[in-house]
Amino acid sequence: MKDISRNLERTPAAIRAQVARMGETLLFFGGFKTKDLVFDLRVEAQDVERWIRNKWLRRRNGQIPEEAVHEFFKNHPEEIPFDRLEPAIQHWLKPKM
Instruction: Enumerate the domain spans of the chain.
Output: 29-96
Question: pLDDT digits over 17-34, tens only?
Answer: 787 777 766 555 667 889
What pTM was estimated for this model as a whole? 0.67
Question: pLDDT digits over 41-55, tens only?
Answer: 999 999 999 999 999
Q: Torsion over CA of 30, 77, 45 and 85, rounded to 10 degrees?
A: 80
How far apart CA 45 and CA 35 sit, in angstroms, is 7
